[in-house]
Amino acid sequence: MSVGILGNKVGMTQIFNTKGDVIPVTIIKGGPCYVTQIKSTEKCGYNAVQIGYTEIAGNSRSLTKPRLGHFSKVNLQPFKYLKEYKTDTETNYEIGQKFDVELFEIGQTVNISGLTIGKGNLGNIKRNKHTRGAMSHGSKSHRLQGSLGAGTTPARVLPGKKMPGRTGYEQRTIKGLEIIDIDKSQNLIVVKGSIPGKAGNLVSIKSS
């Protein structure tokens, strides 16, 4: 178990390798992140490191008093985002320690987590790939759901029934993405393939 970093998805593009093959890539602005808390087995029951990303003003309206006290206790600037990574030991880290794209190497594989693009409320045809009803004259179920189950027995809708509802905006992790390039001057990571979410979304990058 190792520490990762937080970042923002910049967008997708394509590059060419030495053979002339097109490679679809995603550009991510990663870090810098700072250690805001260290948890140990003696105090918390497990080893973990909490990191902060994106500094905000101490008088920000989005900052609650408990969270402001959390940063004041360790003499750090408040951060907008916090994330915890479990580790094997807590002795290798210290409060205020900086993590950025230098944590990774070109050719290394990483796991990237983020929220998928929200689609809003969708019907059965678009959400669950159901087929529509007859479109002829007299049909009253062009795009309706249809039967939800037997009437008398069990006389209820069974759990897991595919129905209309909210689609997307779910936490997803893409594993084993290869790092194609790293720009340390601008804190940019270029990974092969796509990652969850739209441009600007918060993502977590961690070694596979």
pLDDT of 115 reads 96
Q: What is the pLDDT of residue 152?
A: 87
Helix (H) or strand (E) holding 70: helix 65-72
Q: Partners of 167 in the beta sheet?
A: 120
Model pLDDT, residue 18: 86
Q: Determine the residue type at 57.
A: A
- The rounded distance, in Å, linking the Cα atoms of 33 and 52 is 5
| Whole-number pLDDT of residue 145 | 87
CATH number among 2.60.120.560, 2.40.30.10, 3.30.70.1380, 1.10.3720.10, domain 5-118+171-207? 2.40.30.10
pLDDT < 70: residue spans in the chain: 1
Contact call for residues 31 and 51 (beta carbons, < 8 A): no
Q: How far is CA 157 from CA 48, 131, 153, 165, in A?
A: 43, 20, 10, 15
Q: Is 178 exposed, middle or buried (0-12, 13-18, 19+ CB in 10 A)?
A: middle
Instruction: Show me where the domains of the chain are located.
Output: 5-118+171-207, 119-167
DSSP state of 171: E
Which pLDDT score is estimated for 149?
A: 87
- At 116 the pLDDT is 96
Specify the pLDDT at position 128.
93
- Backbone φ and ψ for 6, nearest 5 degrees, come out as -100, 155
Q: What is the pTM assigned to this prediction?
A: 0.84
How many residues make up the chain in this entry? Answer: 208
Give the number of other CB atoms < 10 A from CB of residue 54.
Answer: 15
The C-alpha atoms of residue 72 and residue 184 are separated, in whole angstroms, by 30
Q: State the Cα–Cα distance between residues 8 and 111, nearest whole angstrom.
A: 14
